[in-house]
A and B are shown apart, each in its own frame.
Chain A
Amino acid sequence: MFVKINGKKEDIQETTLGALLKSKKIEPQMVSVELNDQMIDRENINDTLLQKGDSLEFLFFMGGGSGLS
């Protein structure tokens, strides 16, 4: 089915968000996901069902700047 991932149309086989992340080798702990403009709670990521036409945004942690640590 076709969904939009970060603005790009993609044909995916997976029907849950957890499976989709797994197929893309994205560790759920490193990403926040918006599904149709709604932030998905991290504990619900694995079980969230996907449907044709869904719009997904994967937001990644980014550090950068000054190494203060």
Chain B
Amino acid sequence: MAFTEEQLVRYSRHIILSEVGGKGQKKIRQAKVLVVGAGGLGAPISLYLAAAGIGTIGLIDGDAVDLTNLQRQIIHHTADIGRPKVLSAQEKIKDLNPDVEVIPYQKLLDAENAIEIFNDYEYVIDGTDNFPTKFLINDASYFAKKPLIHGGILRFDGQLFTIIPDESACYRCVFPKLPPQGVVPSCQEAGVLGALAGLIGTLQATEVLKLILGVGNPLTNRILTYHALQTLFREIAIKKNPSCPLCGLDPTIKTLEMEVQEVCDFDPLETAHKDH
């Protein structure tokens, strides 16, 4: 289907990029991207993907908008407090770009529904905050063979990288198993600079657009870290780990399961998260 006059104008700044063009904009329109989490990272991810003209955006989140979310989750507004996040987000996306089809999943991702949902999409973006879900997303993307853009933020630091199943290092190649409960503080416990979510989420959206367009070098086999206090970006080379329990030579994880975090016996707040 050809673009309408209005769409040609809407996407004109993309279309004049030689790396995008009308052909690339069509790829964007045909793309199906699943965003897990409609929070700090999911907000900029889904807004930029919507503005870009992604054809189908799936959004999973079981939460309702809370006053404490508004410091960073810019897709939700004050009047949305108490509303399901996926519905609040769907409304903003539609306002921004009615071309986009939004599929809201007002539920938590779990081992039972993950593969089935992932199978309906071509790319997955992790915008979640808890480790059992982050590991589940990594594993489900691997089993469903979907490229995944991983991202995380805490305090003044953020990190992201792209995972192409079987081709590049996965989350478990770096972090083989969940941290015990309480070892790594959450944003709720430790805080996060709101604008940091915008930055990391926008980088995640950029990386998925690159994959869709097939341009540039994907952020695979390297973790990009950002340290806001020093205004420092670093890139850390990683590689597929032969002893990875998921994608290594002798995998121990063969079916999808939501792992539970072990409890730990020390106070994480005593152990400062070292800034590097």
Contacts and interface: CB of A to CB of B under 8 A. Distances in A.
Nearest to A57: B236
Contacts of A60: 154, 157, 184, 273-274
A65 B128 contact: yes
Nearest to B152: A62
A32 interface: yes
Contact of B183 (A29, A65, A66): A29
B151 A64 contact: yes
B176 to A, nearest CB: 7
B113 interface: no
Given A8-B276, A25-B274, A65 B174 contact: no
B72 to A, nearest CB: 9
B127 A65 contact: yes
Contact of B200 (A7, A25, A57, A64): A64
Interface stretch (B6-14, B15-23, B33-41): B33-41
B84 interface: no
Contacts of B271: 25-27, 30
B5 to A, nearest CB: 37
Interface stretch (B50-58, B90-98, B129-137): B129-137
Given A64-B151, A68-B109, A59 B129 contact: no
B274 A62 contact: no
Interface string B189-213: 0001000010011000000000000
Given A29-B264, A64-B151, A66-B41, 19 more contacts: A26-B274, A27-B266, A27-B268, A29-B180, A37-B239, A60-B154, A62-B159, A62-B184, A63-B184, A63-B186, A64-B40, A64-B129, A64-B154, A64-B200, A65-B42, A66-B42, A67-B39, A68-B62, A68-B133
Interface of A: 5-8, 24-27, 29-30, 32, 34, 37, 39, 41-42, 57-69
Q: 3 smallest A-B Cβ distances: which pairs?
A: A66-B39, A64-B153, A62-B152
